[in-house]
Chain A
Amino acid sequence: MTDFNRHPSSYHHWQLQIDGDIAQLRMNVDSEHPFKEGYELKLNSYDLGVDIELADAIQRLRFEHPEVKVVVVGSAQERAFCAGANIRMLAASTHPFKVNFCKYTNETRLSLEDASEHSGLKAICAINAACAGGGYELALACDEIHLVNDNNSAVSLPEVPLLGVLPGTGGLTRLVDKRKVRRDRADVFCTMAEGMRGKKALGWGLVDAIWPKSQFNDKVDARARELAASLPDKGKKGIELEPINAQRDGDTYTYTHVKVEVDAARRLATVTVTGPTGPQPKTGADYEKAGSAAWALRCFRELDDALLQLRFDHEQVGLIVLQTRGDAAAILQVEKDLVADRGHWLCNEILLQMARTLRRWDLMARSTYALVGEGSCAAGAFFEMTIGCDRVYLLDDENVKMTIGPLSDGLLPMSHGLTRLNNRFLAMPEQAAKLAKEQGSYASADADEQGLCTYLLDPIDWDDDVRIALEERVSLSPDALTGMEASLRFGGAENCDSKIFGRLSAWQNWIFTRPNATGEEGALTRYGAPESAKFDWRRT
C-alpha cells in the first residue's frame, strides 16, 4: 500500500512558509530521499515522492489556508530551480509506473490551475536558476512565470533532443494552448536542449517577466503583494486535513465511506462508495466546525486515495466495478446545502474537491462498470460516478433508482469541460438539459427509458449476465482497451486539460514503449550511459 499522506512538518523536499496572504512554496529536494532505492534526486529533480508532497502542499493551501491568495513556487537551491523528473528514476521504472507517475503529476498541476481558476489562489513561479523539463512544466502550470535574467538560467524542454521522449506533464500542450507560443517558435524551443534565457525567453512568450539577479526576490515579492492585493478575501481560518488511512486486510481496503475489494485472480476490483449517515453540516460555518471528517469531504478524499492505490499498486486489475450505497435523500441534502452556501470558501473547496476526484475517476486507465443493483444508491455525485463508467448495468426493479442531483448541471465538469450528462447525450443536448433541470429520481425502467443505463437486466438474468460481462471484459487486450476507453469517454470538443491527458495516453505511452526510447540502444535507456543512442529511422 502506497502512503499518499504527507504533512508539511515532515516534508523532505519542499518548504512551505505562510506569511499573511502569500505562501512561499520552495522546492528543496533531498537527493538522499528518493521514493525508491537506486537513484539520487540531484539538482531538484523529482520523483513520485516529491510530487506527493507538492500535491499535499496544494491541498493544504486550499483547505488549511484560505487566507492565502498567492503562492510563490520557487526553489531553495541556488543552482537549480528544478531539473524535472529524475531521468534515472524514469529509466529504471516499469512502463505502467512511468505512465501512472506522469498522470499523477499532471493531476497535481491541474489542481494548481484549478485553484487559480476557481479558488482565487494564484500561483507565481519564481525561476531563480536552471529550469528544465518537468521544472518548466511546473512553471507552465502557474499563472505567471518570472525568470532570473543572469545570462545563464534558462527554461527548457529538452526531452526530445536529449531523451527521445516527450515532456510528460503537459508541457507541449500548455506551450501552444495556454501560453499561445507561436507553433514554429515552440518547435524550435522544444528541440533545443539548452533552452532559452532572458530576453529571448521573454520575447517568445516562454516567461512573463525577467529580472536582474540582484532584484529578483524583491521584484517577485512585490508582484506577489500586488497580485494578492487585487484579489478578494476568501476566509480567515482553514480546517485541518486529517490523514486518510484505509484498514488493509489482504486485498481489501476499508475506509470510512469507501471500500475496495481486489480480486487479483479475476483481475477486477470492486469499489463501493457509501453516502452520509447521521447529521451533516448545513452551512459553510458548520463545515468549518466539522473539519475534514464531514462526509462530503472525507468520502471523496478517501475515494481519491483508493483510486491511487489501484493505479500504483494493482496494475493488473483491468476492470473496476462500481457499487453505490446509502440514502439518496441524504446525499442530495448535502449537495443542496453545499450549493446554497457556495459563496463560502469551504463549500466551494469541497465541491471542487468532489469534481477533481470524479475527474480522476474518469481518467482511470481501467475499464469501469457500474452495477446498479439491489441496495444501490446512484444519486447525486454517485450518479455522476455511475454514468462516468464505461457501462451501466441496471437491475430491473422498481426499488432501484437513479437520481440526479443539483451538481449534475455543471458543478462536476469532466476534464474537457462538459457535464457527464452532456457528454452522454451529445446527439441530444435537449435531453441532457432536461435531465439536469428536472433533477429527477428514475426507477429502473424509467431510467432505461431516459438513456441512463447500458443494459437493463431482469433479476433472473442479473447474476449470470453480470458475471459474463465482467469475464468478457477482462479477457480483452489491456492496451487496446485503454486506448479505446480514452477515445470513447470524452466526446465532443477538446480543451487544454483533455488534450494533455489524451496526448499522454496516446503519444507518450507509445513513445515510452518504442525501441527508440526504451530499447537497449534507445535514447532514454542510453541517457548518461557511455554509448550514444541508435535510432530506427523509419517514421511512423
Chain B
Amino acid sequence: MSIVDLEAKIPNNVGLRENKRLMMALEKWQPKFLDWWANMGPSDFNQDQVYLRTAIGVGQGGWAHFDYVKMPDYRWGIFLADGPDDRKIHFGDNVGEKAWPEVPGEFRNRLRRLIVTQGDTEPASVEQQRMLGHCCPSLYDLRSLFQVNVEEGRHLWAMVYLLQTHFGADGRDEAEAMLERHSGDQDNPRILQAFNYPVNNWLDFFCFTAFMDRDGKYQLASLAESSFDPLARTTQFMLAEEAYHLQTGENGVGRIVKRTGEIMAEGKDPRTVGAIPLDVIQRYVNFWFTGSMDLFGGEDSTNAAEAFAMGLKGRYRESDGIYKDPKALNANYSLEMPTEDGKIEKKDIPLRRAMNAVLLDAYIADCKRIVERWNRDLDKLGVHQHIQLPDHKFNRHQGVYAGFRFNPAGEIIDEATWTKHHTDWLPTQADRDYVQSCMVHVTEPGKFANYIAPPPQGVNNQPIEFEYVKFH
C-alpha cells in the first residue's frame, strides 16, 4: 500500500500526512497487521458485510459512524482526545509541572513496558474470541462480537501509534512482537496469563467482556491520567469504545440471566430447554471475575508506587479532583493480609504502594453494581435465587492472597475443604460441556438462541430484526 493510500485509509487526528517517520513505520507494520487479522482474527467472516461503527473523528458523532463494511476493510484509525495545550501534571512527585508531550528519557523503558503490556491484551482478546462467530446466538450478537473485535484491533493501532511515534526502533520492534505473540501459544504466549485462557462459548465471551474488559477500562483510566500527554489522550479516546464493550458483556450476561429467570418463572428446569442454570452462570462469573482481579497486579506493589510517583499511572478519575492529596504521600491503606495461622489481619501500607489495590477497589464496586442489575431482573421475574460476586480474596493467583485458599465468602479454608468444594465454585468440565451444548448457531434476523433474551432495542436505532450481518 502506498503512503497516499495509507493516509486515506487511516482516519486520524495526529497529522499522519506530515509525520514521515510514522508513515514509514506504519507502511511496514500495516500489511503485517492485515495478515495477522486474516490468520488470527475472526475465523471465516472476512468477506461478510457487517454493520459496524467506525471512528472517523473525536468530535461529537465522529466516533459513531455506522455502515456496512467488510472487516478487513475496516478503517482502523488513530485518534487522540482533544485536550488543553498547557495540561499540567496533576499527581505524583512532579505535580504542577507541564505534562510531557514527548517521553522523558528516564521513564522511557518503564513507559514502553506499560504500553506494551496494555497493547498486548488488545490483539490477545481478538485471538481468544476468533471461533465464536460459528456459534452465535443471533445476528445482533454476532455484530456485537465483531464490533468488539475491530475496536480491540483499533486499540492495538493506538498503542502501536505510541510505540512507533515515541519509542524509536525499540518501539517498532515491540509493535511487531505484538503480532507475533499469540493467545494460548505455549512458546510465544500473550504477556498476561488471563489472555491465554480459551474463550469457547458465548457465556465465556460475555463474562470476558463484562469483567476482563472492565479491568481494561480501569487500566486505561489509570493511563488516561498519565503525565505523558499522548498516552493520556490516546487512552481517553479508547475509553469511549471500551465502554461499549463493557455494555456488551454486562448486557450479554444480563440477558442470559434474564432468560434463565424467565424459564424458572415458568416453573421449568433451564436444562430441559437449552438454557443455562444460574449455578453454572455463577461459576463462570466466579472464574472470570477472579481472573480479572489478577490483572491488577499485587495489592502491595513497589512498581505501582513508582509508577504513581513518576506520574505514569494515576488513580481512577484522579483528574476529577476526587482525591484529597495529589501526591498520596501522607496516607496509608488498610490491606487485609492472610497470616500463617490462617487468619486475616489488617495491615497498614503506604498509600502509594497500594495503588493497585485502590484501583481494584473501584473496579470491584463497579462489578457489584452490574451484578445487582442482573439480580433486579431476577427479582422482577419473581426469582429469588441471585448471582453473587465472590469475595476479592477467592481464587487469586496474583497478589497477597495467591497461595492461600479462600471460599467465595472470603473465609480462609484449608486445602481439604478446597478440594471438596472447588467444583461447587468454579466451572467444571461438565459445566463447560453443557454450556457448549447450548451453543446453537442462530443467524436468522430477529431470532435468538433459547439461552439468551433479546436485547431491549437494536443498534443505532435499527430494529432488533435488522440484518446486522449480510453473509456473502
Residues on A facing B (Cβ under 8 Å): 32, 149-152, 192-194, 212-215, 527-532
Contacts and interface: CB of A to CB of B under 8 A. Distances in A.
B340 A531 contact: no
A530 B309 contact: yes
Given A151-B177, A194-B113, A214-B186, A528 B353 contact: yes
Nearest to B306: A532
Contacts of A529: 305, 350
Given A150-B188, A151-B177, A531 B309 contact: yes
A152 B116 CA distance: 11
B187 A530 contact: no
B177 A528 contact: no
Interface string B383-417: 00000000000000000000000000000000000
Interface string B91-114: 001000000000000000110010
B189 A150 contact: yes
B459 interface: no
B16 interface: no
A95 B180 CA distance: 47
B309 A150 contact: no
Contacts of A528: 302, 305, 353
B188 A530 contact: no
14 contacts: A32-B340, A151-B181, A152-B189, A152-B191, A194-B109, A212-B187, A215-B187, A528-B353, A529-B305, A530-B329, A530-B350, A530-B351, A530-B353, A531-B329
Which 7 pairs, one residue from A and one from B, show the smallest C-beta to C-beta distance?
A528-B302, A530-B352, A212-B187, A530-B350, A214-B186, A532-B309, A213-B187
B324 to A, nearest CB: 15
B310 A532 contact: yes
B328 interface: yes
Interface of B: 93, 109-110, 113, 177, 180-181, 186-189, 191, 302, 305-306, 309-310, 328-329, 340, 350-353
A532 B328 CA distance: 13
A530 B305 contact: yes
Nearest to A193: B109
Nearest to A200: B173
Nearest to B108: A192
Of residues B93, B180, B181, B302, which shows the largest number of chain A Cβ atoms within 10 Å of its Cβ? B302
Given A528-B302, A531-B93, A532-B309, A150 B187 contact: yes
Contacts of B350: 529-530
B99 to A, nearest CB: 18
B176 to A, nearest CB: 11
B89 to A, nearest CB: 14
A213 B187 CA distance: 5
A32 B339 CA distance: 11
A336 B310 CA distance: 65
A194 B108 CA distance: 11
Contact of A532 (B93, B177, B181, B189): B93
Given A150-B187, A151-B191, A529-B305, 10 more contacts: A32-B340, A193-B109, A212-B186, A214-B186, A215-B187, A530-B305, A530-B309, A530-B329, A530-B350, A532-B310
Contacts of A527: 302
Q: Classify the interface of chain A: helix, strand, loop or mixed.
A: loop
Nearest to A530: B352
A197 B306 CA distance: 23
A147 to B, nearest CB: 13
A151 B173 CA distance: 12
B249 to A, nearest CB: 27
B351 to A, nearest CB: 7
Of residues A214, A215, A527, A529, which shows the largest number of chain B Cβ atoms within 10 Å of its Cβ? A529
Contacts of A151: 177, 180-181, 188-189, 191
A530 B189 CA distance: 33
Given A150-B187, A150-B189, A151-B188, A530 B109 contact: no
A163 to B, nearest CB: 11
Nearest to A42: B298
Contacts of B352: 530-531
A25 to B, nearest CB: 24
Contacts of B353: 528, 530
Contacts of A152: 189, 191
Contact of A192 (B109, B309, B329): B109
A528 B113 CA distance: 18
Contacts of A214: 186-187
Contacts of A530: 305, 309, 328-329, 350-353
Contacts of A532: 93, 306, 309-310
A151 B93 CA distance: 33
A389 to B, nearest CB: 45
B442 to A, nearest CB: 38
A345 B356 CA distance: 56
A194 B112 CA distance: 10
Nearest to B173: A200
Nearest to B354: A530
Contacts of A194: 109, 113
A405 to B, nearest CB: 54
A192 B110 CA distance: 10
A78 B64 CA distance: 44
Nearest to B177: A151
Contacts of B306: 532
A152 B196 CA distance: 14
Nearest to B186: A214
A151 B196 CA distance: 14
A215 B188 CA distance: 12
B94 to A, nearest CB: 9
B163 to A, nearest CB: 15
Nearest to B94: A532
Nearest to B330: A530
Nearest to A532: B309
B109 A213 contact: no
A510 B328 CA distance: 33
Nearest to A192: B109
Nearest to B93: A532
A61 B238 CA distance: 57
A295 B300 CA distance: 52
A194 B181 CA distance: 19
A79 to B, nearest CB: 9
A532 B305 CA distance: 9
A152 B185 CA distance: 13
A192 B353 CA distance: 23
A528 B306 CA distance: 7
Contacts of B310: 532
Contacts of A212: 186-188
A531 B350 CA distance: 10
A149 B180 CA distance: 13
Nearest to A216: B187
Contacts of B187: 149-150, 212-215
A531 B305 CA distance: 8
Of residues B109, B191, B329, B351, which shows the largest number of chain A Cβ atoms within 10 Å of its Cβ? B109
Nearest to A211: B187
A212 B188 CA distance: 8
B209 to A, nearest CB: 25
A528 B189 CA distance: 29
A194 B116 CA distance: 13
Of residues A151, A194, A214, which shows the largest number of chain B Cβ atoms within 10 Å of its Cβ? A151
A152 B117 CA distance: 10
Nearest to B340: A32
B40 to A, nearest CB: 15
Nearest to B298: A42
A443 B180 CA distance: 76
A32 B110 CA distance: 30
Contacts of B188: 150-151, 212
A491 B92 CA distance: 52
B117 to A, nearest CB: 10
Nearest to A212: B187
A251 to B, nearest CB: 36
A527 B109 CA distance: 17
B189 to A, nearest CB: 7
